[in-house]
Structure 1
Amino acid sequence: MRLWRSRRITIALALLFLITIIYLYIKPEKPATHTLFEPLELLWWPKVMSWNYDETRTCGFAKCRFTNKRENLQQASGVLFYGSNMNPHDFPLPRMSLHLWALLHEESPRNVPYVPHEEFLQHFNLTSTFSRHSDFPLTIQYLPHAEDLGNFEYYLSFARKQRASFDHTLAPVLFLQSDCDTMTGREDYVLELMKHIRVDSYGACLHNRDLPESLQHDYLNNLYSAPLLRFISSYKFMIAIENGACDDYITEKYWRPLMVGTIPIYFGSPSIRDWEPNNSSAIYISDFANAAALAEHLKQVGDNATAYNTYRQKGKNQKLVVSNKRLQNALFSRRYSIGEHKSIFQQFECFVCQNFAKHNLHSPPKSADKTHYSCPYPPAHAPLQNAKQRPKNADDWRSMMAMGRCQAQLLDQLFRANRNYTQQDYDARLTNMISQGLCD
C-alpha cells in the first residue's frame, strides 16, 4: 500500500513538473483584452505606412486606437489591410484566435490578382470593396453628390454641340485615357472605333489631340475640376471603358459624363444597368456586335436632337430625376463618396471599429466570400470586329489572373497552417505549383 502511495505521489509530481514546463516554454496566446471604457486597438499592416501613425478616435458608441506599430500586434483586436499595398509573403502569422481581419480594396484586381478568389477572401471578417455585397460598399463612391446628376452648370444644348461637330471644331466622341494596357482591351476597341467615326483622343492612349493648356497640368489628379468637367460637356459622347469588368466596379468614367450632359459609351461592370439613373442613361458597348455597329448608332443618335436628348432625359428647364430605386437608396444610405472631408481610410476605420466592438460584445465573426469582389475569369473584354479576336495583351492578362488564382490557393494553405513563412518559402511553393501545372 505504501509503495502504491509512493508511486501516485511520484506520478503527481511528474505531471506538475510537465505542466510547469509547458507553461514556461509553450505559453498560451495572450488575448487582446479591453473593457467598455478602453479603446480597441486596430493595427494597420501595410509596410508602406512608413510614418508613425497612432490615433485614438471615437466612432459612434465605440472607441478605437488606430496604429501602424507592428510591435503592438499581440495586443491588437484586429488587423487592417489595404489591398493595393498587400504583399503575399507578408501577413501577420501565426494569427491569434481573437484577431479579426479587415480588407479595404477599392480598385480592380489588376494590381492584386489573388484578391477576387474565395480561397483568399474567406480569411477576412470585414471587407470594403466596390461590390454591393461587401460590408462597407464603395459601389457609387465616384458619384460625388446625388444632386450632381441634375446639375445644369455644365449642361450644353444639343444645338450648341451640333455646331461644334459641323464646323469640325470637335469630333463627336471624346477619349481621355492614359492607362493604355487594360484587361478590357480599351485601346484595341477604340482603335477599331476610330476607323468608323471621328474620335478626339487627348490622353497618352491613341493620342491625336492636345488638351487645352489649362488642363495639361495634372488633370489626372483633378478628375472633377470645373475646367475638366466643362471640357467634357462640350462633346456629344465620351468613351467610358473601365480597366476591369467586375460586378459593381464603376468609376468616374461613367459618372462624369452623366454629370455634365454628355452620353457615356460604357463597357465594364456587367451589373451597370442596376446603377444607371434611368433607363437608357448611357450607350452600352456590349449591346453592339462590334465597333462598326456602335459607330453607326452613334451617328444616328448624334444627328437627331430627339434621340440624343432621350439619353440625357432632361430638358432646358427640367432637372433629371433619378428613377432607379436601388441608386436612390444607395445614395441615401452610403457612408462614403469622393470629395468628402473624411478620407476613405478614416471612414473605413470607424466602420471596422464599430463592428469589431460588436464582436467583442459576443457577436460572432463572419467570413467574406467571392461576392465581396466579383470579377470574371477569364477577364472580359470589349467585343472586337472579329468575334474570335482578343486584345493584343489578352493572353498576358489571362495568365496574370490564372496566377492570381494559384496564389490565392497557396495563401489559403499558408493561412490554414497558421505559421509564419518567409519570402523564400512562398516563392518555392509557388514555383512548385507552377511546375506541376497547377497555375495554368
Structure 2
Amino acid sequence: MGTAGCSPSPRLRALGALAGATLLFTLWLLWQFRPAPVRVPAPPRTLLVLIWHWPFADQPPELPSNTCTRYGVAHCHLSTNHSLLASADAVVFHHRELQTRRAHLPLASRPRGQPWVWASMESPSHTHGLGRLGGIFNWVLSYRRDSDIFVPYGRLEPHEGPAPPLPAKKGVAAWVVSNFQARQRRVQLYRRLAPHLRVDVFGRANGKPLCASCLLPTVARYLFYLSFENSQHRDYITEKFWRNALAAGTVPVVLGPPRANYEAFAPADAFVHVDDFGSAQELASFLAGVNASSYRRYLAWRDRLRVRLFEDWSERFCAICAQYPHLPRGQVYWDLKAWFQA
C-alpha cells in the first residue's frame, strides 16, 4: 500500500518565505554599507620645463634630476634638450638671447596649447625687441610683482636668534660700479654728491675691481652703500639693494622706484631713499651727520629678519613648477612691450 506525500503547511511556507526575504534584505544592507575600497592616490606627475637657451651662457649647466628638490620643489625636471620640445609642459625663453638673436623661437614646431614663458630680470631700459614678441607668450617670469612667476632678486624672511655680528665701520659711504655712463641718473647724482661726501668707489669703472668673495666684507666696513639702480622702474630692486647692502650689513641709500615701492619689500626704516632729500648736498649732510643711535635703528630689522637671495637661474626656473597648478590657462600676452614698459 503506497504512502501519500506530505506538503508543507501554509505556516511553514510563510516562515520559509520570511526567512528568505530576511536573508536577501541582510545581504542588501551588507552591500550598501560595505567599506569603500582603499584607493592609493597616483603619484604626482613630474613636470618637464624646457629652457631653450640658458641665460648668459654658451653651455648650459649640468641639471641633475634633483635640481629643483634642492630648492624645495618636487616633481620638477629642468632640461635644455631641444628634442624634448614636443613633450615639455612649459618652455622658457630668456629675453637677452632673443634680443641678440642667439636664440630663435621654434614657432613652426610649437605643440598646440603648449605654454611658453618669457623670462627676464633686466629693466625695461635695457630690454629691446619686445615689439616682435606679441601674441607668443602665455606667462612671464620676472622681478615684477604682477608677473605670473614672480622671482625677486631677494626678500626678507623671519629669523630667530642673534643677528650676525658686524665689523667695525671705517668709512661713511661706498659704491661698487662697473657700468659708469654720464647719461645715467645714478652717475649724475653721484657727481652732485661727491663734492659734499666722501664716497669710496670700487669696481671696474674706477679701476678697483673686487673679487666675488671680497665684495661683501669690503662694503660691510662702511655705514652706507649707494644702492643706485642703473635705471628706475617699478619693482626693479636688484642685488645692489639685497646683497651689496642688506646682506653685507650696511644701510642702503637707494635710487630706484619710489619709496612706497621699496616699502613693499623691506621695512621703511631699513634704508635711506634719495627722494626724501631736496638736494644732493642735503643728502650728504644727513649721511655724514647720522649719530650712533639713529644708525642702529636702520639695522634693527636684523634682529627678526634675514636676507634670502635669489641668484641662481635654476631656482628661478624651478619656480615655474611650484606655480604651475595656479597659472592661468589660455592667457596670451598680445602686447608684451606695453605690459613690461608700463
Q: Are 2:245 and 1:276 aligned?
A: no
Q: Distance in 1 between matches of 2:250 and 2:73?
A: 44
Q: Is the 8 A contact 1:102 1:127 kept in 2?
A: yes
Q: Which residue of 1 aligns with 2:120?
A: 105
What displacement does 1:86 show?
Answer: 2.0
What displacement does 1:148 show?
Answer: 10
Amino acid at match of 1:266: V
Q: Are 2:150 and 1:137 aligned?
A: yes
Amino acid at match of 2:304: V
Q: Which residue of 2 aligns with 1:202?
A: 202
Q: Distance in 2 between matches of 1:182 and 1:70?
A: 42
Superimposed CA distance per residue, residues 347-390 of structure 1 (whole angstroms, 9 cap, x where no aligned partner): 3444434665788xxx83334586997556xxxxxxxxxxxxxx
Query: What secondary structure does 1:180 align onto?
Result: coil
Measured on the aligned residues, the alpha-carbon RMSD in Å equals 4.2
Q: Are 2:310 and 1:338 aligned?
A: yes
Aligned match for 2:106, one of 92, 95, 116: 92
Q: Is the 8 A contact 2:177 2:202 kept in 1?
A: yes
Q: Are 2:320 and 1:352 aligned?
A: yes
For structure 2, the 5+ residue unaligned runs are: 1-41
Q: Distance in 2 between matches of 1:358 and 1:154?
A: 41
Q: Are 2:38 and 1:73 aligned?
A: no
Aligned match for 1:244, one of 231, 240, 245: 231
Amino acid at match of 2:82: R
Amino acid at match of 2:128: P
Q: Distance in 2 between matches of 1:37 and 1:313?
A: 43
Q: TM-score, normalised by structure 2?
A: 0.66
Q: Distance in 1 between matches of 2:76 and 2:293?
A: 56
Q: Which residue of 1 aligns with 2:188?
A: 188
Q: Distance in 2 between matches of 1:149 and 1:193?
A: 38
What displacement does 1:123 show?
Answer: 3.4
Amino acid at match of 1:91: L
What displacement does 1:294 show?
Answer: 1.5
What displacement does 1:175 show?
Answer: 1.6
What displacement does 1:134 show?
Answer: 1.6
Q: 1:280 to 1:45 in 2, by over 3 A?
A: same
Q: Which residue of 2 aligns with 1:289?
A: 278
Aligned match for 1:127, one of 140, 144, 150: 140
Q: 1:62 to 1:372 in 2, by over 3 A?
A: farther
Q: Which residue of 2 aligns with 1:382?
A: none
Q: Which residue of 2 aligns with 1:364?
A: 329
Equivalent positions of 1:39-58 (< 5 A) are 41-46=48-53, 50=59
Q: Is the 8 A contact 1:53 1:67 kept in 2?
A: no
Superimposed CA distance per residue, residues 4-35 of structure 1 (whole angstroms, 9 cap, x where no aligned partner): xxxxxxxxxxxxxxxxxxxxxxxxxxxxxxx9
Q: Are 2:313 and 1:313 aligned?
A: no
What displacement does 1:197 show?
Answer: 1.6
Q: Distance in 2 between matches of 1:80 and 1:101?
A: 6
For structure 1, the 5+ residue unaligned runs are: 1-34, 165-169, 211-215, 323-327, 377-440
Query: What secondary structure does 1:195 align onto?
Result: helix
Q: Which residue of 2 aligns with 1:82?
A: 94
Q: 1:178 to 1:245 in 2, by over 3 A?
A: same
Q: Is the 8 A contact 2:73 2:318 kept in 1?
A: no
Query: What secondary structure does 2:205 align onto?
Result: coil
Q: TM-score, normalised by structure 1?
A: 0.53
Query: What secondary structure does 1:91 align onto?
Result: coil
Superimposed CA distance per residue, residues 44-79 of structure 1 (whole angstroms, 9 cap, x where no aligned partner): 222866569787679799856644343443454432
Q: Distance in 2 between matches of 1:274 and 1:358?
A: 23
Query: What secondary structure does 1:99 align onto?
Result: coil
Q: Distance in 2 between matches of 1:372 and 1:348?
A: 24
Structure ranking higher in strand proportion: 2
Of structures 1 and 2, the one with the larger relative CO (CA 8 A, separation 6+) is 1
Query: What secondary structure does 1:280 align onto?
Result: helix
What displacement does 1:155 show?
Answer: 4.9
Superimposed CA distance per residue, residues 111-138 of structure 1 (whole angstroms, 9 cap, x where no aligned partner): 43245x7x84763222221112222222
Q: Distance in 1 between matches of 2:73 and 2:126?
A: 36
Query: What secondary structure does 1:128 align onto?
Result: strand
Q: 1:123 to 1:39 in 2, by over 3 A?
A: same
Q: Distance in 2 between matches of 1:52 and 1:260?
A: 28
Aligned pairs, number: 289
Superimposed CA distance per residue, residues 270-327 of structure 1 (whole angstroms, 9 cap, x where no aligned partner): 31122123x22211112223322221222332xx23333333337xxxx5335xxxxx
Q: Is the 8 A contact 1:250 1:268 kept in 2?
A: yes
